[in-house]
Amino acid sequence: MSLTAARLDRISPSQTIAISQKARALAAEGRDIISLSAGEPDFDTPQNVKRAAIAAIERGETKYTDVSGTRALREAVCAKFRRENGIEYAPDEVMVSTGGKQVIFNAMLATLDPGDEVIIPTPCWVSYPDIVSLAEGTPVFVACPQNNGFKLRAEDLEAAITPRTKWFILNNPCNPTGAAYSADDLKPLTDVLLRHPHVWVFTDDIYEHLAYDGFKPATVVQVEPRLKERTLTMNGCSKAYAMTGWRIGFCGGPKALIKAMDKLQSQSTSNTSSISQAAAVEALTGPQDFIAEMVAVYQERRDLVVAALNECPGIVCGKPEGAFYVFASIHGCLGKTSAGGRRIETDEDFVTALLEEEGVAAVHGTAFVAPGHMRISYATATEALREACARIKRFCEGLH
Amino acid sequence: MPALAARLADVAVSASVTMTVRARALRAAGHRVISLAIGEPDFDTPPHAVEAAHQAARAGDTHYPPQDGTPALKEAIRRKFARDNGLDYALDEIMVANGGKQIIANAFLATLDAGDEVVIPAPYWISYADQAKFAGGVPRFVACPQNNGFRLRAEDLEAAITPRTKWVVLNSPNNPSGAALGEGELCAIAEVIRRHPDLWVLSDDIYEHLIYDGFRFVTLAQVAPDLRERVLTVNGCSKAYAMTGWRVGFCGGPRALIRAMVNVQGQLTSGVCTVAQAAAAAALDGPQELVRQHAETYRRRRDLVVAMLNEAPGIACHRPEGAFYVYPSVAGLIGRTTPAGRRLETDLDVAMALLEEAHVAVVHGAAYGMSPYLRISYATDEDSLREACARIAAFCAALS
């Protein structure tokens, strides 16, 4: 009898984690490693949020809560959706989970039967296809070309829809490309979706607040209220409030779907930590100045990284609207040999050689279903970014 | 609304949640409801755990944790298993999850293929069966009769095992019966397991420290070290340290299984709230005196409740070894009628009538797979327990 279930064989081990582990191992050996591979803010959780958590502990809020989250947090989530997205959800149309990841897990496991298809624009965060596979669905990838700013084209979405399509997942702004959709960008996509009433929309807006140069990412229900009855709007506290370790994700959607997801969560984890929920209430309802300050810093770093990378021979890097990643093409570096004598045939060869020879950790595009690229996270101190870009340039100049 | 996945069709909403919701509604209508329905300590989290959480939040320990738990918590768990259970687990044989519930979800999702069987002694915590079904497995129940103190007999276990059996679940002390297995009984069960080399055992020890009258707790991997490679030892902080809201469960088991479970958790929720992990490490490593004090309080309450319930006409209550539940038979109430004219045909009828007419919330035995019984939680102050038992006795006496 085999140890593991067949569903587990469909999941690829995380390639992001492999490179992080290698970087940690090199750092442990005493090498000077700059990691640009992590998908988390380098900012600290705001003080008012930490204090709210401590106050909750003092009040004895250390017991089970409703599976879908405390009333206070669900109301704060409703207020957030109303205030920032112009969407009205009732408290029983929202739920709180252990990170945005569990929202996706709940939604896919609650709805997918074997063979159901889920459309995922690429490059993509690899957990989408993995969770779909875990739920025995079939991921259907649609490429978003670099020459379209890595944005999905309406005709490509239209062509990917079949009678078996159950979900369309949109990540806006996108990890790993940073591409973001305004209301005008979304309209052609929502027009396609209106023509296919059997398709559900999962919109992952976790990077919503991280957009630059005044760009305003929009969300599907805001642009097309007629899709509200088949859209799950996901968000969370990790990126906006630098709260990755607290594990708070949430979503709004039709009551029947939320109820099914609630049932599922009641059997897999129950409520998310009561203390983290209290912290999230403060994050969502307290002062929001923290976000603007953080965004200003990210914007400066993005500009720095894009400019520096475009000076590296063989690298082409567009300037994305949001998130804290750039997704650079390294096609011009392939087929060459590094100064250390490593043959660079693939993007994985590239990031491995870059890590070994220059001590810079980035993630190869293949990990996001987009070979020939690398993802660089600029959620790192500005000085370290400057140094890392100098090293990448030296590395590229050494290719022959 | 898209159709929900077939895997969700069989998954039930927890009965204790349903009773709690109805009790809340009656309370909101102005009734003085005493709830004995919930499985949660009424004590507060120990102060040193609270302090550790404060420090972690203040120190900025708020970033993504490793998927399998922080090194500090895993070290504390390793010490706990060595100290309390004589088990030596390496760090990569330990993982942390969002409550004991997620440990079980991880284990079943990682190992069960469609049609694989899970042997569950009844009465049982409903989540074992629901999680098995949700992962495509088939629960097979083995009755543990009241006349054997609700303890599993080796011969009954043997008879339930088939070539499709993948897991056997042990839960001692047991929710809902409070029954605990002694060393002799566990050795007899180990003998059965030895004869079936293709199955795994999940030993859910979450109530380990709630054990009375000098009963000595032992766990399977301890009494049968030769089975260690097939046993998953599950525990957590919720019951021992009154930390239900924090959501920290953990387990020790063979490396290959742990690795597969971490892989599932990586797709389900990622790691557990960092602040809660810091609190858990402090709880495990700190003074254990509170645990003993709480156990003494629970013992007094158990004796009170067993004595009072046995005074109620038609109820027969066994005195269990551990946990904070009693599981009285209500066979003597079936077929009777309440003053309000409710006919009692099932234990659900009894529980509903008790709630509506005596305003005492309990859970019916059918929710735990053995009827006609009630589960009564005594994790409530003594005055409320006394009042609740008096109401139950008056309810029984008034039946015609």
Residue to test with chain B: of A1, A11, A16, A258, most B Cβ within 10 A:
A1
Radius of gyration over every alpha carbon of chain B, rounded to an integer in angstroms: 21
Alpha helices in B124-164 (DSSP H): 126-134, 154-160
The ipTM assigned to this model is 0.73
What is the number of CB-based contacts under 8 A between chain A and chain B? 209
Q: How far apart are CA B272 and CA B62, in angstroms?
A: 11
In this complex, the residue of B105, B110, B111 whose CB is nearest that of residue A268 is: B105
pLDDT band at A89 (very low <50, low <70, confident <90, very high): very high
In chain B, positions 341-380, which contact chain A (CB-CB < 8 Å)? none
Q: Which of A67, A87, A377 is nearest to A234 (CA)?
A: A87
CA distances from A365 to A326, A362, A375 (A): 11, 10, 6
Contact: A57, B50; criterion CB under 8 Å? yes
Q: With contact defined as beta carbons under 8 Å apart, do B274 and A246 qualify?
A: yes
Contact: B17, A6; criterion CB under 8 Å? no
Give contacts of A5 with chain B, Cβ < 8 Å. 109-113, 116, 135-136
Give contacts of A48 with chain B, Cβ < 8 Å. none
**For residue B11, what pLDDT is reported?**
72
Q: How far apart are CA A287 and CA A163, in angstroms?
A: 46
pLDDT greater than 50 at residue A1: no
**Chain A interface includes B269 (CB < 8 A):** yes
Contact: B245, A110; criterion CB under 8 Å? no
**For residue A318, what pLDDT is reported?**
95
Q: How far apart are CA B79 and CA B282, in angstroms?
A: 12
The pLDDT tens digits for A276-304 are 999 999 999 999 999 999 999 999 999 99
Half-sphere exposure at residue A151, Cβ-oriented, CA atoms within 13 angstroms: 22
Q: If you measure CA to CA, which chain B residue comes closest to A272?
A: B247
- What average pLDDT score do residues A228-256 get? 96
- Hey, CA dihedral for B118, B122, B127, B130, is it positive or negative? positive
Give contacts of B54 with chain A, Cβ < 8 Å. 54, 57
**For residue A28, what pLDDT is reported?**
85
Q: How far apart are CA A217 and CA A53, in angstroms?
A: 30
In this complex, the residue of B4, B58, B270 whose CB is nearest that of residue A50 is: B58
Residue B29 neighbours by CB under 8 Å, 6+ apart: none
Closest-CA distance, A85 to chain B, in angstroms, reads: 22
In tens digits, what is the pLDDT along chain B, a chain of 400 residues?
567 788 777 777 667 777 877 888 898 899 999 999 888 888 999 999 999 999 999 998 898 888 999 999 999 999 999 999 999 999 999 999 999 999 999 999 999 999 999 999 999 998 999 999 989 999 999 999 999 999 999 999 999 999 999 999 999 999 999 999 999 999 999 999 999 999 999 999 999 999 999 999 999 999 999 999 999 999 999 999 999 999 999 999 999 999 999 999 988 898 999 999 999 999 999 999 999 999 999 999 999 999 999 999 999 999 999 999 999 999 999 999 999 999 999 999 999 999 999 999 999 999 999 999 999 999 999 999 999 999 999 999 999 9
**For residue A13, what pLDDT is reported?**
64
Closest-CA distance, B103 to chain A, in angstroms, reads: 9
Contact: A247, B270; criterion CB under 8 Å? yes
Q: How far apart are CA B213 and CA B200, in angstroms?
A: 31
Give contacts of B63 with chain A, Cβ < 8 Å. 40, 244-245
In chain B, positions 59-78, which contact chain A (CB-CB < 8 Å)? 60-65, 67
Q: How far apart are CA B81 and CA A370, in angstroms?
A: 45
In chain A, positions 111-130, which contact chain B (CB-CB < 8 Å)? 111-113, 127, 130
In this complex, the residue of A8, A44, A267 whose CB is nearest that of residue B60 is: A44
Q: How far apart are CA A202 and CA A233, in angstroms?
A: 6
**For residue A280, what pLDDT is reported?**
98
Q: Which two tokens stand for residue A47?
A: 């003080």
**For residue B190, what pLDDT is reported?**
98
- What average pLDDT score do residues A317-338 get? 97
The pLDDT tens digits for A106-135 are 999 999 999 999 999 999 998 999 999 999
Contact: B135, A110; criterion CB under 8 Å? no
Q: Which two tokens stand for residue B77?
A: 């768990």
Q: Which of A119, A139, A116 is nearest to A129 (CA)?
A: A139
Specify the 3-state DSSP secondary structure of A238.
coil
Q: Which two tokens stand for residue B303?
A: 């004796």
Residue to test with chain B: of A62, A116, A200, most B Cβ within 10 A:
A62
Residue B340 neighbours by CB under 8 Å, 6+ apart: B353, B356, B357
In chain A, positions 177-236, which contact chain B (CB-CB < 8 Å)? 198, 200, 229-230
Q: Which of A294, A311, A268, A277 is nearest to A382 (CA)?
A: A294
Q: With contact defined as beta carbons under 8 Å apart, do A164 and A126 qualify?
A: no
The length of chain B is: 400
Parallel/antiparallel/unpaired status of strands B200-204 and B165-171: parallel
In this complex, the residue of A7, A61, A247 whose CB is nearest that of residue B273 is: A247
Closest-CA distance, A315 to chain B, in angstroms, reads: 30
Contact: B57, A50; criterion CB under 8 Å? yes
Residue B365 neighbours by CB under 8 Å, 6+ apart: B123, B176, B327, B330, B347, B371, B372, B373, B374, B375
Residue A384 neighbours by CB under 8 Å, 6+ apart: A34
In chain A, positions 320-359, which contact chain B (CB-CB < 8 Å)? none
Count of CB atoms within 10 A of residue B83's CB? 12
Q: How buried is residue A182: exposed, middle or buried, by Cβ count under 10 Å (0-12/13-18/19+)?
A: middle
Give contacts of B10 with chain A, Cβ < 8 Å. none
**Chain A interface includes B97 (CB < 8 A):** yes
| A364 DSSP β-pair partners | A374
In chain B, positions 220-249, which contact chain A (CB-CB < 8 Å)? 242-247
Give contacts of B267 with chain A, Cβ < 8 Å. 11, 101, 105, 127, 130-131, 134
In chain A, positions 251-270, which contact chain B (CB-CB < 8 Å)? 254, 256-257, 260, 263-264, 266-270
Give contacts of B271 with chain A, Cβ < 8 Å. 245, 247
DSSP B380: S
Q: If you measure CA to CA, which chain B residue comes closest to A276?
A: B273
pLDDT greater than 50 at residue A390: yes
**For residue A23, what pLDDT is reported?**
85
Give contacts of B105 with chain A, Cβ < 8 Å. 267-269
Q: With contact defined as beta carbons under 8 Å apart, do B125 and B368 qualify?
A: yes
Contact: A45, B62; criterion CB under 8 Å? yes
Q: If you measure CA to CA, which chain A residue comes closest to B246?
A: A273
Contact: A245, B61; criterion CB under 8 Å? yes
> If DSSP states are collapsed to H, E and C, what string results for A275-323?
HHHHHHHHHHHCCCHHHHHHHHHHHHHHHHHHHHHCCCCCCECCCCCEC
Q: With contact defined as beta carbons under 8 Å apart, do A247 and A87 qualify?
A: no
